[in-house]
Amino acid sequence: MVDAINSAGFLKGKFVKELKNRFLCEVLIDDVPTECYVPSSCHLSNFLTLRGKSVLLLPTQDRNSRTKYALYAVPYKRNYIVLNTSMANKAIEQGIHSRRFSFLGQRSEIIKEHNVDGYKADLYIKDTDTIVEIKSVISLKSAALFPTVYSERAINQLHMLKQLLEKGKKVCFMIVSLHPYVTEIVIDKNTFFYKELSNCVELGMVLYGFTCRLRDRTIVIDNQIPVS
């Protein structure tokens, strides 16, 4: 499978280390130390150990980028753990019209990054006036603990979602595991995030968990898993 994906456009390298700038890392490409972009909002070492491991890279999209390649995934068992955290949004966006998401009702008009009363929704389903918020998690455990790091932004988002729910808006909160073999997502009760999330659920927000995986060069939603 590695060879098939590489032939689809991925470059293979060996991870050396994360740099002080959390968006940068060093990777050996053909034994040459190369600075690469890390598409994650926090250090990947919070989730897993990459030093010395084979990784998949993709060319960066921005011509003015200081790096030529971006970190994408690391092999795991018979598939990969995706390291680009924005791919959770892409997987949901690309799959949202499938039967798997029939619980969302009519989905003929989906708007990406739509402003709803001052809140920037990852996806907005105009048909049903539904806000879809998407989060990603990377964990090597079968039961992935979420959140893994404190995020003031996530707390503020939940506070705003609470206000929207109080106005009668519909909200669907999705957590996507970038590790395809996770079987459950567990919300950490010892966090302020849990309290804010619970408040939103009490007001009608629905929670869903999913895993995703790489198929050829495409990231797809694989399974629905429980959120507890």
Q: Is 113 left (phi over 0), alpha (psi -120 to 50) or beta?
A: left
- Report the CATH number at residue 25: 2.40.50.580
pTM metric for this prediction: 0.90
List all residues 6 or more positions away from 79 whose beta carbon is below 8 Å from its beta carbon: 1, 180, 181, 213, 214
Do 97 and 193 lie in one domain? The reply is: yes
Dist. CA 55–CA 67, nearest whole Å: 16
Range of the domain at 65: 2-81
- The predicted pLDDT at position 47 comes to 86
Do 175 and 66 lie in one domain? The reply is: no
pLDDT along the chain (228 residues), means of 10: 49 93 92 92 86 93 83 91 91 94 95 94 96 94 89 92 96 96 94 94 97 86 94
Do 168 and 197 lie in one domain? The reply is: yes
- Report the CATH number at residue 131: 3.40.1350.60
- The predicted pLDDT at position 6 comes to 44
Residue where a domain stops, chosen among 38, 63, 81:
81
Helix pair angle (152-166, 192-202), 10° resolution = 20
End-to-end alpha carbon distance in the chain: 33
According to DSSP, residue 99 is labeled: G
C-alpha torsion 82→87→90→94, nearest 10: 0
Do 91 and 180 lie in one domain? The reply is: yes
- The predicted pLDDT at position 8 comes to 52
Do 143 and 195 lie in one domain? The reply is: yes
